Every structure is written in C-alpha cells, then in structure tokens.
Amino acid sequence: MTGSETALVFDIKRFAVHDGAGIRTTVFFKGCPLRCRWCQNPEGLEESQRPVFFQSRCIHCGSCLKVADPEQEKWENNGPVWNFKWRGDWNRAVHACPTGALAMDSRRYTVSELMEKIREDRVFFRENGGVTFSGGEPLLQNAFLTAVLKQCRKEGIHTAVETSLSVSSEAVRNTVPYLDQIFADFKLFDGDQHRKHTGMDNTQITENIRFLLESDHRDAVTVRTPLIPGITADYDNIQKIAHMISSLYPEVKYELLNYNTLAPAKYPMTGKTYPLMDTLARFSEKEMDRFYQAASDGGVRNTVREEKASV
Amino acid sequence: MNERIEYLKEKMLGEERYASIEQARIITRVYQENEDRSTARKRALSLKAALEEMEIVIDPMERIVGNRTKGVRAGVVFPESGCSWVNREFEDLPTRPQDRFQVRQEDIREFRESIYPYWQNRSMEEKIRREYGKEIQAISRVVKINQTDHAQGHICPDVELWLKKGPALIRQEAKSRIYLSEGSEREFYECMVLTLDGAITFMHRYANLADRMSADHPECSENLKEIAHCCRGLAHRPAQSFREALQSLWFLFVILHMESNASSFSPGRMDQYLISYYRNDIRSGALDEEEALELMECLWLKFNQIVYLRNRGSAKYFAGFPIGFNIAVGGVDSEGNDTCNEISFLCLKAQEELGLPQPNLSVRLNRNTSHELMQKAIAVVAKGSGMPQFFNDEAIIHSMMEDLGVSERDARNYAIVGCVELTSSGNCLGWSDAAMFNLCKALELALNHGVDEITGERLCEDYGGLDTCASFEELEKVFLKIVDFYIDEMMKAEEKVEKAHQECLPSAFLSAVVHDCMEKGLDVTKGGAHYNFSGIQMIQIANLADSLEAVRKLVFEEKEIDAGQLLDALRKDFRGYEVLQARLLNKAPKYGNDIREVDELGAKYAEYFRKRMKEYTNYRGGLVHTGMYTVSAHVPMGENVGASADGRNAGMPLADGGMSPSFGRDMNGPTAVLKSVSRLPDSLTTNGGLLNMKFLPEFFDTEEGREKFESFLRAFTDLRIPHIQFNVVRKEDLLNAKAHPDQYRSLTVRVAGYTAYFVELDGKIQDEIIERTSYDRI
C-alpha cells in the first residue's frame, strides 16, 4: 500500500443517521459485482465515472446543446434526451450546464482526501458515531479501503461497512481487523435463485460468511436479508439462512430489512429502468412478525428489528 | 394540563384583542395637571395614577392574577413614546396584514379629540422626527434605526431582589436615600418612591377585589381568599412561598410593562431564583409537584396575556406579537458548574403541555449539561413549537468577558432578552435592538456606484462599481467605504435616539430593579445600570458571503461572467439572464456547506464591522457591539434589496435567522451548517446570534433518534456556536416544497434506504412522503 491509491466515490452522505449507531458519515463506493434486481443505488453499479441527469434541475436553456456531440444528445419536447451509452468526453456538456442538472455521478478521491472528508464531522461522531462504507460494494476497492480503515483506527474513528460479501476472501480478511461493525447481506440461500436475481451465485458469499462467523470478529457482524416480495421474502429462504448462520455462531445477529418502495427513485437519472415492478408494497408488521418467526425457527436467538416509534 | 388550565387557556385564546386607550387617557391627564414638573416626575406620577386607577379584573379560576389592561392581550396605546403612528393607523388595526387588533369607534374619537392633540409635539417619536428625522430617513435603506417610537425594554431586571425585598423594602431604601441627596438625584429617588407607592396600591387593589368577589363565587372562594392573602402580603413584605414568588414576579412584569410599554422584559434565570421557594414548600408539605406545575402553568398563561402593539412597519419586522418574556433554564452557576434543578424541568413541562408562544423558553447548554435535561428539552422540541431554543455557555461566557469586559460572575449568570439577545442578569441596559445594518444593501451600492438598484436613486457617493474595479480587492475597498459611511451616519443617529429616551422616558420603577441605579442615584436610561451596551445587528451574513464569493470566483478568478453583464443582469432582475442566474446559483460555493473559503469571506467583513464598533462609545458611556439575528426582518429587509450576485431575485427575502444559510443553499446537511456557522468568531455575536434549523418529525419518533439529536446538540456545544433553534417540518412545508421547489432545494427526506433531496424526487414519491409526514403523529 503506497497511499497513492484512489477510489471512485459516488456520494458522501454526512449526518447519516440510519446506517449504524450515532451520527455517521456514509461513503458510497462505485462498482458492484452483483446486479440485484431491487438495487436502490443504480449509479453505484458501474466501476467507471458516468453521467447522471437530474430532470428537475433542468431549465431547458440549451447550453448543453451548443457543445454536445450529436450522438450524445438529442433535443426533444424542449429538453435534452441523453444517450447514456455514449462513451465520449462528457465533461464539456457537464461544464456547460449552468444548473448542475447534468453531472458526473462520482469523483475520485485519494486516501488523504477521503480522510479529510471523514474528519469534517469528527465532532459529531461522539462516542458511538463514525464512518460507514457502503456502495456499490466497498470491499471491491480493497487496498484503498484498507488504507482508509487503518487511518480511521489510528484516529479513533468508529468504522462500519455495508457489504454484499461478494468479494474475494482475501478482501474480507484484509479489512475485517480494522472494522468495528460489519453489516453483511445474505440475500438468497439457494444458489440458482441467487444467480437468477443477482447475476452471481452465492458460493463466495457463504464462504465469507462462514469465515466471518468463525472468526474473532463475529460479534461485530450483523447478517441482513432485504425482503423483496416474491424473491427473498420467503419463509423457507429466511429459515434456511437463519439455520446456516446460527449453526456457525449461535449468538449471530440477524436483521430483516423491509422492502424499500422508493427503490425505483434513482433510476431515471441514470437512464435505466427499475427491473422490478414499481408497485410492490412494504410488508405489514404482521407479515414482518412471520418473517422474524422464520428466523427464530431457523435457530437465530439475536434478531435485530427496527425500533418502532415510541411516542 | 388539568381542567383549570385548559379552561383558562381556551378562555384566553377565545377573547378578542382590542386596542386600549385607558392608560393613554390617564397619562395625558396627569401630564396636563403637572405641566410645570419635570418629565421624570410626570412619568412617575402617571404610572402611579395608572396603578391606582386602571380597571382591574380577576378570573375566579385563575391562581396568578394581574394584567395591565382589563381585556387580555390588549394593544396599549402609549402616548409618551409615540402615538402619531397610532393616529395614522388606528382605523387599519383590525385589517392590517400582521398583528391585528379590534378597535372601538368611541376610542378613536376620544384619542383624536383629547389625547393625540396634546402629544403631537411632546412625544418622543415627534421629538426624534423633528430633530433628526430627515437624517434617519436618508440612511433608512441601509440602516434601520430602532426604538424611535417606543421605550427600549430588552432588559432582565433583578427578579431575585424584587422577590427578596418586595416593593415596600425597596421603597424604604429609596426613601432613606432621598434625605442624603439633592438635585436630580433626589428627584430620582422621589420618583422611585412614587412608583413603588403605586405598586403597593396596585397589589392591595387586587387583594380587595379578590375579597369582594369571593362572596359572589362560592365555588372559587377558597382560591380568591388565597389570592387576597397573597396580594396583601406581597404589598408590604417579601414573597414567602412558591405561589407568592410567582405572583410577586408577575406583578413586577405587569408594572414594568405599564411603565414602559416596551418589548421584552425577561424573567431570566427562573430556575436559579425560584428553587429555594419550591424546595422549602415541598419540604414543609405545603406544595406538591402537581400543584407546582399548575401554578407554573397559570403563570405561563399570564405571559401570553400581554402583547405589544407595534406600528404596521414594525409588525412586519417583528411579526406575531413577540413580547419576549424570555426564561433561561440550565447553564452554569457562579462557580462554572452545571446547574439544573426541579424548576428547570417544571418550566419545560409547562411549555410541553401548553405550547403557547410565550414565554420564550431557552435552555442554556454547556459541556456538562445532564442527559436528563437534554432529553427533556428534546422531547419538548419534538412537539414542534420551536421551543426551547438553545444557548451555548461555551460560546457566550468567554466572549462576554473578553469582548465586553463583563465580570466572570456576571457572564456566567447571563440571561436572554427579547429573542436571542444576551445580557447579564439584573444589572444591564443592553440596548440590544439599537439598529439593523443591511450589509447586502451596502454591497448593492458598492457594485452599483452608490445607486439604488431598485429605484435608480443615488443613495450615497460614487466610490466606484463592479465594472470599474480591476480586481476583487478593489471592489472590497469600495464596499468598505460604503460600510464606513453608513456606520458613521448610524452612530450619529443612535446618539440622538438615546438622548431622546433620556429626555422623554426616564423610568424610575425599572431603575429600582436594575443595579446600580439605586446606588448611583441615576436613572437607567441615563446610564444607571452597571453595564451599558448598544447592539447593532449585521444583516445578513449568508447573502453577503454568497454574493461576494460568486463575484470573486466567477467574475474575477474564472472570468466566466463579465462584470458589465452581471451588473446589467442585476439591474434587470435577471430578466433575459436566466442562464447567468443559474450559474451564480450553482457554480459558486455557498455559505452553510462547510466550505472554508466562503464561510470565512462572510466572517471577514463581519469582523471588520465589529472592529469598527469598538471605536464608538454610546450615549450612556458604554460599549457598542454586534449581533446576528433578524427575527422576521429578513423579509422586509430583502424587499429593499435588488437582485444580488448570489442569484437571489430582487425583493426576495434574505436568509432567515441571522447566522443561517440562505434558503435551500445548504446542500450538505445539518452538520455542515453547524461547521460553517462555527467559523463565525464568537465576538461577532456578543449581542446575540440566531440559527434556525428544520428537522423532520420522524427524527424524534424513536429513542435512537432522540439520542442522535443529543449528539448533535453536544457537538453544537463543542463547536461553540452561540444559539440554535429547531422547527419540525410539517406536512404543509412539504406541500409547499412540492409547489415551490426552488425555495426548498436543501430539504432532505429519508427515502427508506437513503436520504434524498425532496424536490428532486418524483411527484408520486413526494406524495408518499407527504402522506407519511403527518404532524399529528408526534
């Protein structure tokens, strides 16, 4: 590790209050090996810098048209229509846009630049807040992440990661010693189903889960299953996952994430279409009870459940 | 809230608000009968007469009694300070856009026939207009001189002294000093005695009325007898119980308002001076917690019964009848240790249950503020009344000492007056609302050769303009010349205004409860207080920083925008220059995003202004300093500023608060806002600073959310920001944001898996979020 590594980051969200304990800064890395059909951060999938277009910011001034390649942009109904597949230089059009409606989805950071961003909210982290690395798949840019994690440890900044675990076991082994909290997805127990809905099977994932839950760091791990109607939200799937992880470590923490109905929101700006139906609904408390029952039936003792409003 | 409180609250809110001329009639008569006497004596005699004669009422259900008018929430016409505006606007009071009052036709007639003619050449307002009106008018687009038609107020009297001595003992002290003094000093003590005689009579009158009423209201006779006993006792001795202390406190504030008819007399650190009464009564069994809360809530209702009648223009600047009964709980004691007690919690509880606009409840935070007080305060914030607001001992105490020379003991005992203005307790006339200086208008004149962008009038000398400056540094120089010019004019006007207050509004009763007036034999308006400051508000740092940074970066550094073109765009309010406006808005960094360069640019000019203030001494011999708050003045002050280089359209509101970023420009979340604000040195806000923030109600729904909010407040404390207050975003806000996205660009919402800018979400998703953000839920 030379410190000269860089990484593409598509968002740094300060005052992230739903990604772990305390007040946190969440860093979203570009690039993900999976293609989950329910992904809520479509701009995080590709590993390269890509353009995004925020329709609501466009004032239809036509400044972009003056510099854009004809392959890149068409003007229809008093507004630009972008060809996001165009692989030329997007910077000219981005620079010409006065509102920021057209922008690049990410920027490149060195380790020290990213550390500087993380330190900005140091005073808010207090005892339990800190930084969360998310994505995309944060473990993919492993050398970079490890360097950042080491520096955070040195400065006493609490670290967490949200990972699909769909990365090499070496990547997991490198980072784990410097992580205070690990949120690890386990989406589908069945390998074929996993391949069908995420584009890859789960061999690597199960291997990494096994490693984590047998390691000294297992108390830092929370396994999570996002509940996707008709796909992962299935008694059998949850029970099997629960059974596997609790056999590895009876005290394992397991959380079920209710379906996010707003997942399609970010698709228009990337020029992509949400692969699932956009009419899917969240599960009721009663349905959630049943899924948690599946987790208990599978042998998990420590289920994690979002706190309900107490007032 | 128990049945009694609920009944009293509903009754109060149901009663119509009237303008009242009763006291004006009495004052006018006393002045006419005493033409040959000094103003100080006429003032004392007329207050005494009002205390003896004004019609009084008691609601048999209320446990704390007293008001300055028969009706609740009446607007009092007060001729000594000014009534020519009343003459002009009397008929409009019921229909004006802000702060309406009903009027009685016979009152208007009487006012015009027998009150107004007498005061036409005598009121302070007239005097200032006659002697310096033209000059004040000439600078009014840049500097708004305040206190030209009403008494200053904004003072925190020594309530503890009043509770421990009461009117009788203070009168005794004044009386004894009469024989040792002569001339104006002697008259000062004589006037004090007159007003205290009035105060004693006033209390007796309530006692007698309660006695008389108890026969007619057998169901309330026990309460009425207690009231009679309490008022009679307070007339000749100090308060002896918790209930008496509250009643005594309320009498003090009613009488202060009758003397001055001014905005804001602060009860200050109530938890510090009431705790001994409370604990004694609890210990003896005379009081339990439930009754203490009921009494406190009775007092809370009283705080809402005095409102302040302002002229039409002023009502726009200070909308919503703010009368500023400011109570500060928590904070450090004289040794620097955190102190909060049962009364602190009682105050928060009363606020939580009643949710009324008064008192203006403040919590003082410091590094050692307890978790319990934090969580209680947060629970009250979650209710959405905007209270309590928070002040920061870590920012305020050291700057009061270093920048104002306040002693450590007094600085640790600071209180708040008005909205956010800082004061020591019981010994300071801070004159905190002296003037508002519109730095954004000054910048407009600097860019535009001294010509008003809206009207085309020349307002000051041509020191240059954007199109003639070769560099940003040159433009800075032009800007500072204009600031200098208006500072000099402002300070001349300030002197005239303060002088007029001394001549027209000596206040003997107020002087009795402000140190060192008694010791010095000097009225509070003449400099009798131990500390004498004047506070100027700098308006508005966010727009100033954003505009200057846009010019610096886009015109001078990157040369993306041509100076002449920008000037033309500003003059045309961006008509035909929409792309340029979008560039100004989006391509230059903005204050409030934790970007050092732009944050420090704003601070730099504010510091220049603050330094200039050090060159002046006010008419009472005290220091002049600065604050950063606007109340609601960011709206009218913005109306007067043309299109600005931050991309703001002509006439649109400036940033709100005082230290807050411009609407919708803070795109990096609340922590970045605090970081930006923390770059303003504490010395800029020794007169008070104001930071507004909005949070979604769901944030307060869970214990986890409230814990995180506490972390946020503790970081606020560590960042040494003087003030913060919170609004809870309501459904209407979101509906508004959907309709006017440009004003809500920075509003973020939780979209389940992530947080997003609300205005960038699809309409359907917006609707879903609107649906789930029901304010009733909390």
B761 CA to chain A: closest CA distance, Å?
7
Q: Give the domain extent around B761.
A: 729-778
CA distance B356 to chain A (A): 21
CA distance, residue A55 to nearest chain B CA (Å)? 8
On whether any CB of chain A is under 8 Å from the CB of B741, the answer is: yes
Please say whether the dihedral angle defined by the alpha carbons of residues B326, B327, B333 and B334, taken in this order, is positive or negative: positive
Instruction: Looking at the complex, report in whole angstroms how far the Cα of residue B518 sits from the nearest Cα belonging to chain A.
Output: 47
Instruction: With beta carbons under 8 A apart, name residues in chain A contacting B379.
Output: 311
Q: From B587, which residue of chain A is nearest by alpha-carbon distance?
A: A98
Residues from chain B that touch A123, judged by Cβ atoms under 8 A, are 715, 718-719
Residue B332 distance to chain A (closest CA, Å): 22
Residues of A in contact with B669 (CB under 8 A): 13-15
Is the distance from CB of B9 to CB of B65 less than 8 angstroms? no
CB B522 within 8 A of CB B528: yes
Would the CB atoms of B714 and A307 count as touching at under 8 Å?
no
Pick the residue of B595, B674, B708 with the most A CBs within 10 A to test the interface with A by mutation: B708
- Nearest CA distance, B58 vs chain A (angstrom): 38
The tokens for B71 are 């009706």
Torsion sign across C-alpha atoms B282, B284, B288, B293:
negative
B768 interfacial to chain A (CB closer than 8 Å) = yes
Task: Kindly determine whether residue B760 and residue A129, on different chains, have CB atoms separated by under 8 Å.
Answer: no
The token pair at A38 is 């329910």
Residues of chain B contacting A63 with CB distance shorter than 8 Å: 579
Report the greatest alpha carbon distance in chain A: 63
- B777 inside 8 A of chain A by CB: yes
In a domain, B613, yes or no: no
What is the torsional sign of CA B419, B420, B425, B430? negative
- Asked if pLDDT for residue A107 goes beyond 60, the answer is yes
**Mind listing the domains of chain A with CATH numbers?**
6-47+106-304 (3.20.20.70), 51-104 (3.30.70.20)
Is the CB of residue B435 less than 8 Å from the CB of residue B613? no
- Total domains in chain B come to 1
3-state secondary structure of A6: strand
Assembly ipTM: 0.94
Identify whether B758 is part of a domain: yes
Residue B321: what pLDDT?
A: 67
Least CA distance to A13: which residue of chain B? B668
Are A62 and A194 in contact by the 8 Å Cβ rule? The answer is no
Rounded Cα gap, residues B275 and B253, in angstroms: 19
Q: Which of A18, A123, A263 sits opposite B715 (nearest CB)?
A: A123
Side-chain half-sphere CA neighbours of B675 within 13 A = 21
Distance of CA A21 to the CA centre of its chain: 17
B751 touches chain A (CB under 8 A): yes
Burial A248-285 (b: 16+ CB within 10 A, else e): bbeebbbbbbbbbbbbbbbbbbbbeebebeeebeebee
* Pair of tokens at residue B750: 């939780």
Return the residue of A nearest to B769 by Cα: A262
* Nearest CA among B776, B759, B599 for reference residue A56: B759
Pairwise CA distance, residues B630 & B632, whole Å: 6
Q: How far apart are the first and last CA of chain A?
A: 50
What residues of chain A have any CB closer than 8 angstroms to a CB in chain B? 13-18, 22-23, 40-41, 54, 56-57, 59, 61, 63, 98-100, 120-121, 123-124, 126, 129, 260-263, 265, 268, 307-311
B26: tokens are: 């009495």
Q: Residues of B with CB below 8 A from A268's CB? A: 762
Determine, yes or no, domain membership for B313.
no
Among B323, B321, B385, B313, residue whose Cα is nearest residue B348: B385
Query: Which residue of chain B has the CA closest to A57?
Result: B760
Are residues A260 and B700, on separate chains, in Cβ contact within 8 Å? no
Question: Is B705 close to A263, i.e. CB distance below 8 A?
Answer: no
Separation of alpha carbons A125 and A152, rounded Å: 12
Query: Which chain B residue's Cα is nearest to A28?
Result: B754
B761 assigned to some structural domain: yes
Task: Dump pLDDT digits (tens) for A59-80.
Answer: 999 999 999 999 999 999 899 9
Please list every residue in chain B whose beta carbon sits closer than 8 Å to the beta carbon of residue A41: 753-754
* CB nearest B711 (choices: A126, A263, A307): A126
3-state SS record for B285-316: CCCCHHHHHHHHHHHHHHHCCCCCCCCHHHHH
**What pLDDT shows up at residue B157?**
98
Asked if B765's CB is within 8 angstroms of A262's CB, the reply is yes
Which of A10, A11, A15, A125 to mutate to probe the B interface, most B CBs <10 Å?
A: A15
Query: Are the beta carbons of A178 and A152 closer than 8 angstroms?
Result: yes
Among the partner-chain residues B586, B702, B753, the one whose CB lies closest to the CB of A99 is: B586
Question: Phi, psi (5° rounding) for residue A34?
Answer: -95, 160
Residue B118 belongs to some domain of the structure:
no
Please answer whether residues B308 and B323 qualify as being in contact, where contact means their C-beta atoms are separated by less than 8 angstroms: yes
Contacts of B382 in chain A (CB under 8 A): 311
Task: Give the whole-angstrom CA distance, residue A120 versus residue A118.
Answer: 5
**Cβ atoms B741, B766 nearer than 8 A:** no
Burial B226-241 (b: 16+ CB within 10 A, else e): bbbebbbbbbeebbbb
Judge whether B775 lies within some domain: yes
Instruction: Give the end-to-end CA distance of chain B in Å, rounded to a whole number.
Output: 17
| Closest C-alpha to A68, from A102, A43, A40 | A102
**pLDDT exceeds cutoff 70 at A310:** no
Cβ contacts (< 8 Å) between B712 and chain A: which residues? 15, 23, 124
Mutate to test the interface with B, among A262, A274, A280, A283 (most CBs of B within 10 A): A262
CA B330 to CA B412: how far, in whole Å? 11
**Residue B701 Cα, gap to closest chain A Cα (Å):** 5
> Binning pLDDT at 50, 70 and 90, where does residue A20 land?
confident
Which pair of tokens denotes residue B659?
Answer: 């230290």
Q: Do A15 and B703 touch (CB under 8 A)?
A: no
CA B518 to chain CA centroid, nearest Å: 27
B-chain residues within 8 Å CB-CB of A56? 741, 759-760
Q: How far apart are CA B310 and CA B313, in angstroms?
A: 8
Question: Per the domain annotation, does B766 fall within a domain?
Answer: yes
User: Which among B579, B675, B708 is the nearest to A17, CB-wise?
Assistant: B708
B762 lies within 8 A of chain A by CB:
yes
Structure tokens, B520: 């010095």
Angle between helices B342-354 and B371-382 (to 10 degrees): 10
What span, in angstroms and rounded, lies between the C-alpha atoms of B457 and B450? 9
Asked whether residue A281 carries a pLDDT value surpassing 70, the answer given is: yes
- Residues of chain B contacting A308 with CB distance shorter than 8 Å: 702
Determine, for residues A124 and B778 on separate chains, whether the beta-carbon distance falls below 8 Å.
no
Instruction: Give Rg (Cα) of chain B.
Output: 26
Give the minimum alpha-carbon distance from B438 to chain A in angstroms, rounded to a whole number: 29
Rounded to a whole number, what is the distance in Å from the CA of B468 to chain A's nearest CA?
26
Q: Average pLDDT for consecutive 10-residue bins of chain B (778 residues)?
A: 94 89 97 97 98 97 96 91 91 87 95 95 93 96 93 95 98 97 97 98 98 95 97 98 98 97 94 98 97 98 90 74 87 95 97 88 97 96 85 98 98 95 97 96 98 96 96 97 98 96 97 98 97 97 97 97 97 97 96 96 95 96 95 86 97 91 89 97 96 83 91 97 88 83 72 61 73 45
